[in-house]
């Protein structure tokens, strides 16, 4: 799986219309396990959602008031100053709003890279906002310079990224003995939610609804499901939908539009995009290849 495919923010609720973020610099896919973005934002708001990568953000300019609401919790207010650092763990479901324009450096880190830096068992990151951390500040600025140079400095960039990961594990991580594979869903709850997903693949499967089936908040559900199944719920659902689509393409003469609907996709265009990304073929090409075989 490419890094680009896991760095999405998965929305759980709609966000209000806002001015677009202006991207000033991006490392793109140049580095293997993390990506840096230098951006400018206006005042805005994010509906509830979560990132599929850890994010470390450095505020370069502006002094916005940031309000954060974890899923199932209340709003907390943070007055941010230039130079402050924010740490947002992967799978941390939250809403956010900020009061004014700001310029940021954000480093998105693949979760597996952070696990590699944790030498003594699994580590969970804590969300932190408005932290004064001179080391992380200097590391992010150095990474921005590497991204700006655009040279062939991947090895040095990965050394800097490794230093960021080590700092996160040491100073922002918490080890909980139950949070390994044993921290997944109990077998009966896992069977229940998997069966429900299979029975409702052709319908809407919002994360709050899945979490509610097990009487869990979204953050705990996503974390526990990922530990049990090895991937987060939205990716599991997508792969199950693709698996159903493959079966329909192989075993029925249904049109591609009908296959899309029966597999839970809103339309044929979305279906084709998702199918190609996972199966490396379009649905039509996949059906044709199966007939040839």
pLDDT reported for residue 218: 86
Q: Report the range of poorest mean pLDDT among 170-179, 212-221, 280-289.
A: 170-179
- Worst-scoring range by mean pLDDT, 101-110, 155-164, 282-291? 282-291
- What pLDDT is stored for residue 122 in this prediction? 62
- Give yes or no: residues 207 and 166 share one domain: no
> Is the confidence at residue 55, as pLDDT, over 80?
yes
Q: Does residue 229 sit in the same domain as residue 91?
A: no
Q: What CATH number does residue 282 fall under?
A: 1.10.10.60
pLDDT tens across 85-115, in order? Answer: 999 988 777 889 999 999 999 999 988 788 7
Mean pLDDT of 111-129: 78
* pLDDT, average across residues 206-235: 86
- How many domains does the chain fold into? 2
User: What's the pLDDT at 138?
Assistant: 96
Q: Under 8 Å CB-to-CB from 26, ≥6 apart: which residues?
A: 35, 36, 37, 38, 147
Q: Are residues 28 and 104 in the same domain?
A: yes
86 close to 51: Cβ distance less than 8 angstroms: no
Residue 183 burial (10 A CB sphere; 0-12, 13-18, 19+) = middle
- In DSSP terms, 102 is beta-bridged to 41
Q: Is the pLDDT assigned to residue 275 strictly greater than 60? A: yes
Find how far residue 124's CA is from the centre of its chain: 15
Taking residues 6-22, report their average pLDDT. 65
Question: Domain of 191?
Answer: 183-292
Q: Which DSSP string do the residues of the chain spell out, in sequence order? A: --GGGG--EEESSPPPP-PPPEEEEE-TTSSSSEEEEEEEE-SEEEEEEEESSEEEEEEEE---EEEEEETTS--EEEE--TT-EEEE-TT--EEEEESS-EEEEEEEE-HHHHHHH-TTS--EEPPEEEE--HHHHHHHHHHHHHHHH-SS-HHHHHHHHHHHHHHHHHHHEE--TT-SGGGS--HHHHHHHHHHHHHTTTS---HHHHHHHTT--HHHHHHHHHHHHSS-HHHHHHHHHHHHHHHHHHH----HHHHHHHTT-SSHHHHHHHHHHHHSS-HHHHHHHHHH-
The three-point CA angle 63-132-78 to 5° equals 45
pLDDT of residue 5: 38
Q: 183 or 267, which is more confident?
A: 267
Q: Which of 9-13, 23-27, 72-76, 97-101 is most confident?
A: 97-101
Same domain, 109 and 34: yes
Across all residues in the chain, what is the average pLDDT?
84
Portion of the chain with pLDDT greater than 90, in percent: 35
> Is residue 122 located within the same domain as residue 213?
no
At residue 181, the pLDDT reads: 45
CB atoms within 10 A of CB 247: 12
The rounded percent of the chain whose pLDDT value lies above 70 is: 87
What's the rounded Cα separation, in Å, for the pair 79 and 236? 38
- Check whether 149 has a pLDDT greater than 80: yes
Write the CATH number for 119: 2.60.120.10
- List the end-to-end C-alpha distance of the chain, in Å, as a whole number: 27
User: How many residues belong to the chain?
Assistant: 293
For residues 205 and 264, membership in a common domain is answered with yes
Q: Are residues 151 and 202 in the same domain?
A: no
Q: What are 130-140's pLDDT values in tens digits?
A: 999 999 999 99
Give the angle 14-278-95 at the CA atoms, nearest 5°. 20
For the CA atoms of the chain, what is the radius of gyration? 21
pLDDT of residue 52: 76
Instruction: Read off the pLDDT of residues 162-201 as tens digits, 9 standing for 90 and up.
Output: 999 999 998 998 764 433 345 688 878 888 898 899 889 8
Is the pTM here over 0.95, yes or no? no
């Amino acid at each position: 799986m490419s890094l680009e495919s896991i760095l999405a923010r998965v929305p759980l609720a709609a966000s209000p219309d806002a001015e677009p973020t202006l991207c000033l610099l991006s490392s793109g896919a140049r580095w293997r396990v993390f990506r840096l973005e230098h951006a400018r934002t206006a005042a805005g708001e994010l509906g509830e959602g979560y990132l599929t990568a850890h994010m470390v953000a450095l505020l370069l300019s502006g002094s916005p008031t940031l309000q954060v609401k974890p899923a199932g919790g209340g709003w907390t207010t943070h007055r941010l100053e230039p130079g402050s650092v924010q740490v947002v763990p992967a799978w941390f479901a939250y809403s956010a709003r900020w009061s004014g324009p700001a310029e940021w450096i954000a480093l998105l880190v693949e979760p597996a890279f952070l696990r590699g830096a944790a030498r003594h068992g699994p580590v969970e990151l804590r969300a932190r906002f408005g932290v004064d951390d001179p080391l992380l500040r200097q590391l992010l600025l150095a990474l921005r310079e590497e991204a700006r140079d655009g040279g062939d400095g991947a090895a040095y960039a990965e050394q800097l990224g490794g230093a960021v990961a080590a700092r996160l594990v040491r100073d922002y991580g918490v080890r909980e003995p139950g949070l390994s594979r044993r921290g997944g869903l109990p077998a009966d709850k896992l069977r229940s939610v998997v069966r429900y997903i299979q029975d409702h693949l052709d319908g809407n499967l919002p994360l709050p609804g899945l979490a509610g089936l097990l009487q869990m908040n979204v953050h705990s559900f996503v974390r526990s499901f990922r530990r049990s199944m090895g991937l987060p719920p939205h990716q599991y659902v997508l792969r199950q939908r693709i698996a159903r689509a493959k079966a329909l393409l192989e075993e029925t003469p249904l049109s591609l539009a009908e296959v899309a609907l029966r597999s839970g996709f809103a339309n044929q265009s979305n279906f084709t995009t998702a199918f190609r990304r996972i199966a490396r073929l379009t649905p039509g090409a996949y059906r044709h290849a199966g007939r040839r075989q």
